[in-house]
């Protein structure tokens, strides 16, 4: 596994350092438990988001984390509804996460082009920011902080198993310029079906509000 967390925020760095490896383990567990080595090929954004939350909850030995997914939130002034992907309360911190399955943009190599990653991530970030702004007046008061986060998933398969060399070359922190913190991770071999290997990238940005 390869992982960069470009942040000095201890809470969110500790959270990602635990949550993402457990996410990869959760996917591998599902594949083994169900004899299903094709899971990553048919998984979509929602199924991967659920596995991410499953990995967090399964390893929350102190019962310190509560979570809800895909609930309805109302934008009263705009007279419309939305569905935040993930809401987490982690002790005295709250995290909103908006997920995307990056089937095309990452596959075309755009996340190796910092300006393209920034452009695409901004659209996801603005969506989760809108959810937070709509609900913040009703949020439970915490002594830690409120965070908003984007999370993109990208399948690594077949010949891309040499992905580590490309990632090491391109994911240099000085190349990525956001007005917020960011992270980039991958596990290039979660499981193999004997003919091909499959892995997953997980990356995005976050900000304390």
Instruction: Give the integer Cα–Cα distance in Å for 155 and 66.
Output: 28
Q: Angle, to 10 degrees, between the axis of helix 10-33 and the axis of helix 45-58? A: 110
Give me the pLDDT at residue 158, please.
Answer: 62
CA 21, CA 178: separation in Å to the nearest integer?
24
The tally of domains found in the chain comes to 1
pLDDT at 106: 46
Helix or strand or coil: residue 36?
Answer: coil
Average pLDDT per block of 10 residues along the chain, 209 residues long: 87 96 93 85 91 96 94 81 92 96 60 74 93 91 96 77 69 67 86 75 93
pLDDT given at position 107:
45
**Residue span of the structural domain in which 16 resides:** 2-208
- 3-class SS of residue 189: strand
Q: What is the pLDDT of residue 154?
A: 86
For residue 125 the two structure tokens come to 């970030």
Distance (Å, whole) CA 73 – CA 133? 11
């Amino acid at each position: 596994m390869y992982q960069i967390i470009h942040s000095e925020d201890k809470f969110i760095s500790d959270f990602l350092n635990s949550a993402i490896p457990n996410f990869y383990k959760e996917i591998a567990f599902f594949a083994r438990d169900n004899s299903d080595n094709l899971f990553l090929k048919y998984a979509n954004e929602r199924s991967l988001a659920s596995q991410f939350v499953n990995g967090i909850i399964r390893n929350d030995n102190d019962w310190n984390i509560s979570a809800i997914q895909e609930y309805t939130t109302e934008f009263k002034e705009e007279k419309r509804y939305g569905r935040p992907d993930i809401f987490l309360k982690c002790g005295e911190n709250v995290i909103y996460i908006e997920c995307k399955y990056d089937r095309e943009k990452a596959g075309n190599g755009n996340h190796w082009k910092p300006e393209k990653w920034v452009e695409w991530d901004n659209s996801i970030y603005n969506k989760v920011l809108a959810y937070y702004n709509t609900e913040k007046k009703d949020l439970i008061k915490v002594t830690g902080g409120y965070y908003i986060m984007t999370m993109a998933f990208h399948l690594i398969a077949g010949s891309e198993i040499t992905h580590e060399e490309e990632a090491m070359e391109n994911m240099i922190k000085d190349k990525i310029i956001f007005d917020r913190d960011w992270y980039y991770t991958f596990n290039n071999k979660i499981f193999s079906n004997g003919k091909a290997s499959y892995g997953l990238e997980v990356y995005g940005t976050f900000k304390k509000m």
